[in-house]
Structure 1
Amino acid sequence: MAFITKEKFLSNEWISAYLYLIIGSIIFAVSDILFVVPYKLAPGGVYGIATVLNTMFSWKISYCTFAMEIPLVILGTIILGPRFGIKTIVSISIILFTVWIMETYISPGYAKVIADPMLNTIVAGVFYGISIGFIFKSRATSGGSDIIAMILAKYTKLSLGKLVMIVDGIIVLFTLVQPSETGAIGWEFAIYSLIIIYIEGKIIDMVVSGANYHKTVMIVSDQYESISSKIKNDLMRGATIFTGTGAYSGEEKKMVYSVMSRRELEILKLHIREVDPNAFVNVTEANEILGEGFKSLKEE
Structure 2
Amino acid sequence: MNKAIGKTKKAAKRIKSYVVLTAAALIYAVAISLFLDPNDIAPGGVTGIAILMNRFTAIPTGTVNLLINIPIVLLGLWKFGWRFICSTLYALTMITIFINALADYGPVTQDLLIAAVIGGGLIGIALAMVFRAGATTGGIDIIVKVLRTKWRHIKTNILFLAFDSMVIIASWIVFQDLTVAFYAGVAVVVDSIVMDKILYGSDEAKLTYIISANPEQMKQRILDELDITATIIPARGAYTNEPRELLMIVTRKQMYPKIEEIVKDEDASAFMIVSSANEIFGEGYKDITRDKL
* TM-score (norm: length of structure 2): 0.78
Gaps of 5+ in 2: 1-6
CA contact under 8 A between 1:61 and 1:100: conserved in structure 2? yes
Task: Name the structure 1 match of 2:249.
Answer: 258
Report what 1:135 is aligned to: 130
CA positional deviation for 1:202: 3.5
Q: Is residue 221 of structure 1 aligned with residue 221 of structure 2? A: no
Residue 274 of structure 2 is matched in structure 1 by: 282
2:119 counterpart of 1:124? yes
Q: CA deviation at 1:124?
A: 1.8
Contact kept, 8 Å, 2:76 with 2:85, in 1: the verdict is no
Kept in 2: contact 1:245–1:252 (CA 8 A): yes
- What amino acid is the match of 1:276? A
The verdict on how the C-alpha distance between 1:77 and 1:213 changes in structure 2, with shifts beyond 3 A counting, is closer
Write the letter of the residue equivalent to 1:43: P
Number of aligned residue pairs: give it.
283
Name the one with the larger helix percent. Answer: 2
What is the 5 A alignment of 1:139-288? 139-149=134-144, 161=156, 163-179=159-175, 185-186=177-178, 188-208=179-199, 211-212=202-203, 214-245=205-236, 252-274=243-265, 275-288=267-280
Distance change in 2, residues 1:75/1:13 (3 Å): closer
1:291–1:297 CA contact under 8 A, matched in 2:
no
1:231–1:77 Cα change, 3 Å: same
Q: Show the counterpart of 1:114.
A: 109
Q: Give the deviation of 1:287 after TM superposition.
A: 3.3
Question: 5 Å matches for 1:51-130?
Answer: 51-55=51-55, 59-77=59-77, 80=79, 82=81, 84-103=84-103, 106-107=104-105, 110-111=106-107, 113-130=108-125
| Paired residues of 1:56 and 1:178 also in contact (CA < 8 A) | no
Equivalent residue runs for 1:26-45 within 5 Å: 26-45=26-45
Rate the CA distance shift 1:278–1:87 in 2: closer, same or farther, 3 A.
Answer: same
* Structure 1 unaligned residues grouped into runs of 5+: 1-6
- Relative to 1, partners in 2 of residues 1:212 and 1:154: Cα closer, same or farther, differing over 3 Å? closer
Amino acid at match of 1:82: G
**Cα offset for 1:250?**
6.2
Structure 1 residue 50 displacement after superposition: 1.3
Whether the aligned pair in 1 keeps the contact of 2:72 and 2:143 (CA below 8 Å) is yes
Task: Confirm or deny: 8 A CA contact 1:24 1:135 kept in the other structure.
Answer: yes
Aligned residue for 1:217, secondary structure, equals strand
The code of the aligned residue for 1:117 comes to L
SS of 2:202's equivalent?
coil
Query: What is the match of residue 22 of structure 1?
Result: 22
* Contact 1:150–1:160 under 8 Å retained in 2: no
Q: Describe the superposition over 1:249-270 as per-residue Cα deviations: whole angstroms up to 9, x where unpaired.
A: 7665432222334453212212
Deviations 1:2-35 (A, max 9, x none): xxxxx87972211111111111111111211112
Mapped partners of 1:16, 1:31: distance in 2: 23
In the aligned structure 2, how far is the partner of 1:248 from the partner of 1:233? Answer: 34
Conserved? CA contact 1:217–1:282, under 8 Å? yes
Alpha-carbon shift at residue 58 of structure 1 (Å)? 6.3
1:189/1:298 CA distance change after superposition, 3 Å: same
2:213 and 2:270 in contact (8 A); partners too: no
Tell me, in whole angstroms, the C-alpha distance in 2 between the residues paired with 1:158 and 1:12.
Answer: 33
What percent of counterpart residues are identical? Answer: 22
Gap change, CA 1:196 and 1:242, over 3 Å in 2: farther
8 Å contact 2:140–2:163 — kept in the other structure? yes
